[in-house]
Chain A
Amino acid sequence: MEGDGSDPEPPDAGEDSKSENGENAPIYCICRKPDINCFMIGCDNCNEWFHGDCIRITEKMAKAIREWYCRECREKDPKLEIRYRHKKSRERDSNERDGSEPRDEGGGRKRPAPDPDLQRRAGSGTGVGAMLARGSASPHKSSPQPLVATPSQHHQQQQQQIKRSARMCGECEACRRTEDCGHCDFCRDMKKFGGPNKIRQKCRLRQCQLRARLSPVTPSESLPRPRRPLPTQQQPQPSQKLGRIREDEGSVASSAVKEPPEATATPEPLSDEDLPLDPDLYQDFCAGAFDDHGLPWMSDTEESPFLDPALRKRAVKVKHVKRREKKSEKKKEERYKRHRQKQKHKDKWKHPERADVKDPASLPQCLGPGCVRPAQPGSKYCSDDCGMKLAANRIYEILPQRIQQWQQSPCIAEEHGKKLLERIRREQQSARTRLQEMERRFHELESIIARAKQQAVREDEESNEGDSDDTDLQIFCVSCGHPINPRVALRHMERCYAKYESQTSFGSMYPTRIEGATRLFCDVYNPQSKTYCKRLQVLCPEHSRDPKVPADEVCGCPLVRDVFELTGDFCRLPKRQCNRHYCWEKLRRAEVDLERVRVWYKLDELFEQERNVRTAMTNRAGLLALMLHQTIQHDPLTTDLRSSADR
């Protein structure tokens, strides 16, 4: 069974020792159940574990207990007494214990759990208050909190604890970590990871997000370590980070390179900014979330030996600020935000100071005319006005010369452009005349239709001529596929088509805006697709229904001989019966409308072309073009390199 190997004492004390009974899970307590997911307390004599619920001891009470023996052991051996903690240490413990990992070391209480599995499952092997099998699986060793009751230790603890709480809030993710990552620079400096122990800082991931301060300047405040000469105090970061920074903010790093003495001379402002690292940030960082160049942490630190740790530090600081600003977009928590704002505020103050510190006398002079003030950092001018003045002077000076140069020789492209414009205008003219023609036809058609309506109805023999001939044949409708009588084929197919078409939409986002056009597009707004119907209004099956034909309405279609010649006669059949001229008005109107639409499209195209040519002409010799470009003529006689001057 699992329990045996790890148990330091023979499991035969007390009658509750039947932990092995052939089942898989070891059983505990007076209830003899294997349940370990609740608070348990262990007897210091027989090492049996008891559920707090079963023996009526709450976690809170247990916190006050230092040594506890189960009822049986107490009954057997009267010397065993339950001992409680000193009041002060109880408070301290309770302060510390909020949210922090349970401890696993120390005196009576701090014994390993009944079996290693349990220990693992529990996350730690402590006795009192520690069987919190809540999934924290990291056995921590780095929080040596001896809660053993010796006064001197208490005192020390007090001091230590005060110090700890000053630098650890105890609640953030970093404070809750129990083990060092082993990969960051601080960890690798630790003795236990094979480092030289020069930096002596907590693991990066364990730096409290609220309270930690990587402050070399006030080492006495943080951990007790002797003062060191400046360079190492400044906590050299791995240079890969710098390598990246150099790429990112080369200017910062390079300026840092130039002024090492200044950097070391002002450690304070630098160190203040040196963050409380956001461990999430750091983890992202490690995971390469920000980095396209790869992990900076992982490689050797020997790559840029020439760079002072101080400079590295400064460069790091800047980058952190940058990253921090990025990260601040993601995180929404109040307290972090506040902290960051404080950070940014500090930075804003620091930067101008630093610039001054950097270049007190070496800021270049503003390039404005007659201006003797120093230029703003990162600019060539001291103010906007100077820049504008210089630009204006430049234009006054250079532009006339350039204009003259331009006009020295005729611009061939310009000539082409003018010819093009002329052509376009001509085409526009012709398009407009065509349009007028269309309008005329439109009106003509309307008049014909009007006239035709006035005809009297007359039943003709001629119309029934072809009836008997083709009643045997069957045509299949194109849309629905049913067989239909050829006599009514036209009518049927029109109706059928309209039926199917009315179910589809055809439109564009823009309403028609043409002046002078009477009726072109349907333009009915469809709110679902947010489009305007772009079918011809006369034809649109979706938005216009054929009007009901009254019984006495005449067909009125102008009859033709040989397709094209008008006879002057009109079809006298009642509309309802006429099968040859079904919907003739609609179709004729549609024809005319289509022509008109085509002409409008053409006009549109021509407008577009004209606009292009005009913009090209303006931009060719515009201010910007003239100022930025120049064509120097070397041979005053040759202005045109074409051998024959045509085209």
Chain B
Amino acid sequence: MFVRNVAGTPGPPITVPTQIAKKPKYRAAWSRAGRLADQTWSFIAMATEESGDAKAEPALSSSTNRSQKASEKPDYALKFTLVGHTEAVSSVKFSPNGEWLASSSADKVIIIWGAYDGKYEKTLYGHNQEISDIDWSSDSSCLVSASDDKTLKIWDVRSGKCLKTLKGHSNYVFCCNFNPLSNLIISGSFDESVKIWEVKTGKCLKTLSAHSDPVSAVHFNCNGSLIVSGSYDGVCRIWDAASGQCLKALVDEDNPPVSFVKFSPNGKYILIGTLDNTLKLWDYSRGRCLKTYTGHKNEKYCIFANFSVTGGKWIVSGSEDNLVYIWNLQTKEIVQKLQGHTDVVISAACHPTENIIASAALGNDKTIKLWMSNY
């Protein structure tokens, strides 16, 4: 039960088929919302533009060169294939300083690769069961890994040693995240709770009884004040990091299991992936879905998605049809599909400074591919 395989767990498999059956009506509703959302989106975007916020949401303004840039397509090409894992890869993440790529796998190890040349650097051993997720600390010196052996481990990358083991969950730990200050770690688990841990001592500070189904994703926002958590019960909750209070719950009409959540780099929007082949961008303060990205296949696995902000503004996600999908953030159209993997692409990560995408695939493939683009 290492990879985010929903099949076999109670709940989601039962709901998903009905979702598919209801698809047409579903789509229509969304597209309606989508259109409206587009208008509000542009409004918001312009507002943010005025306020000088230039991060992930470029304005859909009338200026021509902006729209040109926005409609350009990236030309990601396969540069490296990193072979080395002996089981399915579950997650890849670039280090914040851009030098390393960490990959976790079902073979219970984490491998660190050079981000620019794809060369093997070192292996971190220590877990007893498959690893589901990893995350870097902000200074790129530490990693946290979440594993099926119900623990999280904090690693010192330089020495390769495990610094601390965080015990407390009663079931598989599925997702983990450092806060921007890297003094806290949050983890979501199959025991339906989210735990906040202190890095220094390794103790659990808070347990949020968050959901009624396994928690599939947790994320801090850019200043560490908010936490978003998504779960198979279809609800995304936003919590105040300091007090642990739930501030908001985002539920859509039909509540398909949530497989992935992430804050946007400026912290205003949330990207939510659900197991009905949809990615949505929500404005959480208004509680409204702004953009919807479809075309890929996501019904079983908890596939990572990312904001690509180094060149053009894209949404990058893996898919169960062995391709990496790239959408234009504004126009929602698919701008590129990267082919090369031979199994479900479970994770796609974007380099913090360069136009590099790393994608990882499951058991039939077991490789990580590095793609580079000029824009």
> Measuring CB to CB, which residues of chain A are less than 8 angstroms from any residue of chain B?
406, 409-413, 416, 612, 616, 619-620, 625, 628-635, 638-643
| Contact between B77 and A629, CB atoms less than 8 A apart | no
Whole-angstrom CA separation of A406 from B121 in the bound complex: 12
With A612-B158, A641-B354, A641-B356 given, is the CB distance from A631 to B120 under 8 Å? yes
Chain B residues contacting A413 (CB-CB under 8 Å) are 99, 114, 117, 119, 121
> Measuring CB to CB, which residues of chain B are less than 8 angstroms from any residue of chain A?
77-84, 99, 111, 113-122, 158-159, 354-356, 370, 372
Chain B residues contacting A640 (CB-CB under 8 Å) are 116-117
Contact of B116 among A625, A629, A630, A642 (CB under 8 A): A642
What are 28 A-B pairs at a CB distance below 8 A? Answer: A406-B119, A409-B117, A413-B99, A413-B114, A413-B119, A413-B121, A416-B99, A612-B159, A616-B122, A620-B120, A628-B84, A629-B82, A629-B83, A629-B84, A629-B111, A631-B81, A631-B113, A632-B81, A632-B83, A634-B80, A635-B79, A638-B79, A640-B116, A640-B117, A641-B116, A641-B356, A642-B354, A643-B355
Chain A residues contacting B356 (CB-CB under 8 Å) are 641
| Contact between B119 and A620, CB atoms less than 8 A apart | yes
Whole-angstrom CA separation of A616 from B99 in the bound complex: 15
Output the residue of B82, B84, B117, B370 with the most chain A CB within 10 A.
Answer: B117
Chain B residues contacting A620 (CB-CB under 8 Å) are 119-122
Chain B residues contacting A642 (CB-CB under 8 Å) are 116, 354
Output the residue of B78, B114, B159 with the most chain A CB within 10 A.
Answer: B114
Chain A residues contacting B83 (CB-CB under 8 Å) are 629-632
Which are the 4 A-B pairs with shortest beta-carbon distances? A629-B84, A629-B120, A632-B81, A630-B83
Closest-by-CB residue of B relative to A406 is B119
Chain A residues contacting B78 (CB-CB under 8 Å) are 634-635
| Contact between B117 and A641, CB atoms less than 8 A apart | yes
Chain A residues contacting B99 (CB-CB under 8 Å) are 412-413, 416
With A412-B114, A616-B122, A632-B82 already in contact, 18 other A-B pairs whose C-beta atoms are closer than 8 Å:
A409-B117, A409-B119, A411-B119, A413-B121, A612-B158, A616-B121, A619-B122, A631-B81, A631-B113, A632-B83, A634-B78, A635-B78, A635-B79, A638-B372, A641-B117, A641-B354, A641-B356, A641-B372
Contact of B118 among A410, A631, A643 (CB under 8 A): A631
| Contact between B80 and A630, CB atoms less than 8 A apart | no
Q: How distant is B1 from chain A, measured CB to nearest CB, in Å?
A: 16
The count of A-to-B residue pairs whose CB atoms sit within 8 angstroms is 79
Closest-by-CB residue of A relative to B115 is A641
With A411-B114, A620-B122 given, is the CB distance from A633 to B158 under 8 Å? no
Whole-angstrom CA separation of A640 from B79 in the bound complex: 10
Q: How distant is B45 from chain A, measured CB to nearest CB, in Å?
A: 27
Closest-by-CB residue of A relative to B77 is A635
Whole-angstrom CA separation of A398 from B366 in the bound complex: 20
Whole-angstrom CA separation of A504 from B321 in the bound complex: 70
Whole-angstrom CA separation of A410 from B159 in the bound complex: 23
Whole-angstrom CA separation of A632 from B111 in the bound complex: 16
Whole-angstrom CA separation of A641 from B310 in the bound complex: 14
Whole-angstrom CA separation of A94 from B355 in the bound complex: 95
Q: How distant is A416 from chain B, measured CB to nearest CB, in Å?
A: 8
Chain B residues contacting A410 (CB-CB under 8 Å) are 117
Q: How distant is B227 from chain A, measured CB to nearest CB, in Å?
A: 33
Chain A residues contacting B158 (CB-CB under 8 Å) are 612, 616
Contact residues of B: prevailing secondary structure: strand
Q: How distant is A422 from chain B, measured CB to nearest CB, in Å?
A: 18
Chain A residues contacting B119 (CB-CB under 8 Å) are 406, 409, 411-413, 620, 631
Chain A residues contacting B84 (CB-CB under 8 Å) are 628-630
Q: How distant is A562 from chain B, measured CB to nearest CB, in Å?
A: 46
Whole-angstrom CA separation of A410 from B114 in the bound complex: 11
| Contact between B121 and A631, CB atoms less than 8 A apart | no
Whole-angstrom CA separation of A635 from B75 in the bound complex: 14
Chain B residues contacting A409 (CB-CB under 8 Å) are 117, 119
| Contact between B82 and A631, CB atoms less than 8 A apart | yes
Chain A residues contacting B121 (CB-CB under 8 Å) are 413, 616, 620
Closest-by-CB residue of A relative to B113 is A631
Closest-by-CB residue of A relative to B340 is A634
With A616-B122, A629-B111, A631-B82 given, is the CB distance from A639 to B77 under 8 Å? no
Output the residue of A409, A630, A641 with the most chain B CB within 10 A.
Answer: A641
Chain A residues contacting B355 (CB-CB under 8 Å) are 643
| Contact between A625 and B80, CB atoms less than 8 A apart | no
Closest-by-CB residue of B relative to A641 is B116
Whole-angstrom CA separation of A634 from B117 in the bound complex: 12
Chain A residues contacting B354 (CB-CB under 8 Å) are 641-643
With A612-B158, A630-B84, A631-B117 given, is the CB distance from A641 to B122 under 8 Å? no
Whole-angstrom CA separation of A416 from B114 in the bound complex: 11
Closest-by-CB residue of A relative to B111 is A629
Chain A residues contacting B122 (CB-CB under 8 Å) are 616, 619-620
Q: How distant is A414 from chain B, measured CB to nearest CB, in Å?
A: 8
| Contact between A633 and B111, CB atoms less than 8 A apart | no
Closest-by-CB residue of A relative to B120 is A629
Output the residue of B78, B99, B119, B122 with the most chain A CB within 10 A.
Answer: B119
Chain B residues contacting A632 (CB-CB under 8 Å) are 80-83
| Contact between A412 and B81, CB atoms less than 8 A apart | no
Closest-by-CB residue of B relative to A416 is B99
Output the residue of A412, A629, A631, A640 with the most chain B CB within 10 A.
Answer: A631
Chain A residues contacting B111 (CB-CB under 8 Å) are 629
Whole-angstrom CA separation of A638 from B82 in the bound complex: 15
Whole-angstrom CA separation of A628 from B111 in the bound complex: 11
| Contact between B120 and A641, CB atoms less than 8 A apart | no
Chain A residues contacting B82 (CB-CB under 8 Å) are 629-632
Q: How distant is B51 from chain A, measured CB to nearest CB, in Å?
A: 30
Whole-angstrom CA separation of A642 from B99 in the bound complex: 10
Q: How distant is A355 from chain B, measured CB to nearest CB, in Å?
A: 28
Chain B residues contacting A643 (CB-CB under 8 Å) are 354-355
Q: How distant is B74 from chain A, measured CB to nearest CB, in Å?
A: 14
| Contact between B120 and A625, CB atoms less than 8 A apart | yes
Contact of B117 among A411, A616, A619, A630 (CB under 8 A): A411
Whole-angstrom CA separation of A416 from B78 in the bound complex: 25
Closest-by-CB residue of A relative to B85 is A629
Chain B residues contacting A628 (CB-CB under 8 Å) are 84
Whole-angstrom CA separation of A640 from B114 in the bound complex: 10
Closest-by-CB residue of A relative to B368 is A631
Whole-angstrom CA separation of A619 from B159 in the bound complex: 12
Closest-by-CB residue of A relative to B98 is A642
Q: How distant is B128 from chain A, measured CB to nearest CB, in Å?
A: 16
| Contact between B117 and A639, CB atoms less than 8 A apart | yes
Whole-angstrom CA separation of A85 from B92 in the bound complex: 89
Closest-by-CB residue of A relative to B159 is A612
With A412-B117, A620-B122 given, is the CB distance from A641 to B159 under 8 Å? no
Closest-by-CB residue of A relative to B311 is A643
| Contact between B80 and A633, CB atoms less than 8 A apart | yes
Output the residue of A410, A620, A639, A642 with the most chain B CB within 10 A.
Answer: A642
Q: How distant is A544 from chain B, measured CB to nearest CB, in Å?
A: 39
Chain A residues contacting B80 (CB-CB under 8 Å) are 631-634
Chain B residues contacting A412 (CB-CB under 8 Å) are 99, 114, 116-117, 119
Closest-by-CB residue of A relative to B118 is A631
Q: How distant is B368 from chain A, measured CB to nearest CB, in Å?
A: 10
Closest-by-CB residue of B relative to A608 is B159
| Contact between B79 and A633, CB atoms less than 8 A apart | yes
Q: How distant is A435 from chain B, measured CB to nearest CB, in Å?
A: 27
Q: How distant is A636 from chain B, measured CB to nearest CB, in Å?
A: 10
Whole-angstrom CA separation of A634 from B370 in the bound complex: 10
Q: How distant is B355 from chain A, measured CB to nearest CB, in Å?
A: 8
